[in-house]
């Protein structure tokens, strides 16, 4: 370990800034127009605005990030054609679809996106290329009241983009499933029974994940249930499972933090006595590595929020595989017992024939 960096006079401000990141999920107030709930209600109505396809034809579904593709595939169960848009391993927050995606959208009956302003360029392309009969379904926007949006260091309220990572919270992922089921049942009623039973079976799996994460989290003393991550993907999870977000390092413009911010974070890590800090496999961070080195804290750089494990067709290339991996990784590194998560059966409930761009 190198010599300790001198504490900068900015520490107090930094501590305050990072304290604000914590799991305060209901203090964000009204949306920009002051209309509580209106955005959520409109989003849900839009999800259900697609026309029913003729009996005997196949529903064409587009999806944005890979976790959503996997969730939709489990509900659709091989009865629909599913095409992902955002390639795995890319920065989904800055992703701009190539013009060729327009052709996919032109044959899409419903596109499932995350929403909360994650995929604006894809939404714009969809607005001009989706058929009139199609639906644009922003799952996060449809399931989460505006009052529950989380804003923090990486997603400051002033920037207008709330933290969009709802899917890493098993409880919120289960709400996605309900909306997806309702959309598929409405647009393709011939297969309603299958969609309904797939959704029920998948919800059981998500409830098992929920219970396992709760049990494994409880093996950590409260003072160790703390996350300092590079990419800010676990804010809703933390709020729902009693974890504290110490901070996320990635600034809102996805650049690197300034040297002064790094110095402040080093002081913050030392004073918090956190046992491990977490980088993201999609965003390798020399800065987090430096913080780990200078604080003597274990640096784990493999978390992932929208890049599934393995490759398409692999058993663990799935949303459930991703969640199992992340929460086992976190709880192991912090000294807890993640056995109950490791023992989950993460098999998909239905065949996943979706196209996952790489
Ligand atoms: Zn992300």
Q: Phi/psi class of residue 254: alpha, beta or left (left: φ > 0; alpha: ψ in -120 to 50)?
A: left
Does the structure show a pLDDT above 80 at 36? no
Number of domains in the chain: 2
Task: Using only the alpha carbons of the chain, give its radius of gyration.
Answer: 20
**229, 274: one domain:** yes
CATH code where residue 245 lies: 3.40.50.1980
Beta bridge partners of 147: none
Q: pLDDT value at position 37?
A: 57
**69, 110: one domain:** yes
Is 30 part of a structural domain of the chain?
no
52 CA from centroid of ligand 1 (Å) = 33
**256, 313: one domain:** yes
Does the structure show a pLDDT above 80 at 19? no
214 CA from centroid of ligand 1 (Å) = 23
114 CA from centroid of ligand 1 (Å) = 11
Kindly write down the DSSP assignment for every residue of 264-288, as one continuous string. Answer: HHHHHHHHHT-SEEEEESSS--HHH
9 CA from centroid of ligand 1 (Å) = 31
| CA 170 to each of CA 22, 182, 237: distance values in angstroms, whole numbers, following the listed order | 19, 19, 8
- Work out the average pLDDT over 230-259: 89
**257, 179: one domain:** no
90 CA from centroid of ligand 1 (Å) = 10
53 CA from centroid of ligand 1 (Å) = 33
232 CA from centroid of ligand 1 (Å) = 7
Return d(Cα 83, Cα 111) in angstroms, integer: 9
Where is average pLDDT lowest: 153-157, 216-220, 346-350? 153-157
Is 155 part of a structural domain of the chain?
no
- Work out the average pLDDT over 282-304: 90
306 CA from centroid of ligand 1 (Å) = 7
Q: pLDDT value at position 14?
A: 36
173 CA from centroid of ligand 1 (Å) = 15
Is 6 part of a structural domain of the chain?
no
351 CA from centroid of ligand 1 (Å) = 26
Who has greater pLDDT, 71 or 6?
Answer: 71
Q: What is the pLDDT of residues 56-105, one digit of tens each?
A: 999 999 999 999 999 999 999 999 999 999 999 999 999 999 999 999 99
Q: pLDDT value at position 262?
A: 87
* Banded model confidence at residue 34, pLDDT cuts 50, 70, 90: very low
Share of the chain above pLDDT 70, in %: 90
Is 137 part of a structural domain of the chain?
yes
Q: pLDDT value at position 99?
A: 93
**172, 249: one domain:** no
**98, 42: one domain:** yes
**188, 52: one domain:** yes
Who has greater pLDDT, 265 or 307?
Answer: 307
Does the structure show a pLDDT above 50 at 26? no
Is 198 part of a structural domain of the chain?
no
Is 46 part of a structural domain of the chain?
yes
165 CA from centroid of ligand 1 (Å) = 6
**185, 43: one domain:** yes
Q: What is the pLDDT of residues 181-191, one digit of tens each?
A: 999 999 999 99
**174, 273: one domain:** no
Q: Phi/psi class of residue 5: alpha, beta or left (left: φ > 0; alpha: ψ in -120 to 50)?
A: beta
Does the structure show a pLDDT above 80 at 24? no
- CA distance from start to end of the chain: 38
- Work out the average pLDDT over 256-265: 86
166 CA from centroid of ligand 1 (Å) = 10
168 CA from centroid of ligand 1 (Å) = 10
Q: Is 15 helix (H, G, I), strand (E, B) or coil?
A: helix
**243, 113: one domain:** no
**304, 332: one domain:** yes
Domain membership of residue 307 as a residue range: 11-23+213-342
Return d(Cα 215, Cα 341) in angstroms, integer: 9
Q: What is the pLDDT of residues 104-162, one digit of tens each?
A: 999 999 999 999 999 999 999 999 999 999 999 999 999 999 999 999 988 999 999 99
Burial 221-249 (b: 16+ CB within 10 A, else e): eeebbbbbbbbbbbbbbbbbbebbbbbbb
């Amino acid at each position: 370990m190198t010599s300790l960096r001198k504490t900068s006079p900015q520490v107090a401000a930094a501590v305050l800034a990072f304290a604000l990141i914590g799991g305060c999920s209901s203090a964000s107030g009204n949306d920009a127009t002051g209309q509580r709930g209106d955005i959520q209600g409109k989003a849900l109505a839009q999800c259900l605005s697609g026309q029913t396809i003729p009996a005997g034809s196949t529903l064409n579904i587009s999806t944005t990030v890979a976790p959503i593709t996997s969730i939709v595939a489990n509900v659709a169960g091989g009865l629909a054609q599913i095409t992902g848009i955002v390639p795995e391993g890319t920065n989904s927050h800055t992703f701009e679809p190539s013009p060729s995606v327009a052709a996919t959208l032109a044959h899409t009956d419903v596109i499932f996106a995350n929403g909360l302003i994650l995929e604006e360029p894809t939404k714009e392309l969809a607005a001009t290329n989706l058929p009139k009969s199609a639906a644009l379904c922003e799952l996060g926007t449809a399931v989460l009241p505006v009052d529950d949006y989380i804003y923090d260091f990486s997603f400051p309220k002033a920037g207008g983009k709330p933290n969009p990572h709802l899917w890493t919270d098993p409880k919120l992922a289960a709400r996605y499933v309900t909306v997806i089921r309702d959309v598929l049942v409405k647009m393709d009623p011939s297969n309603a029974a299958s969609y309904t039973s797939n959704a029920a079976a998948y919800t059981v799996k998500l409830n098992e994940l929920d219970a396992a994460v709760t049990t494994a989290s409880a093996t950590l003393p409260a003072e160790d249930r703390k996350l300092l991550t590079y990419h800010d993907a676990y804010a809703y999870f933390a709020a729902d499972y009693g974890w504290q977000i110490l901070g996320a390092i990635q600034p809102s413009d996805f650049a690197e933090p300034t040297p002064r911010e790094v110095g402040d974070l080093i002081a913050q890590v030392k004073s918090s006595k956190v046992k491990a800090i977490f980088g993201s496999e999609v965003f390798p961070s020399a800065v987090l590595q430096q913080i780990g080195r200078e604080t003597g804290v274990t640096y784990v750089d493999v978390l992932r929020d929208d890049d599934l494990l393995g490759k398409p067709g692999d058993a663990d290339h799935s949303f459930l595989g991703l969640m199992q991996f992340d929460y086992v990784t976190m709880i192991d590194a912090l000294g807890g017992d993640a056995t109950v998560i490791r023992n989950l059966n993460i098999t998909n409930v239905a065949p996943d024939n979706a196209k996952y761009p790489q």
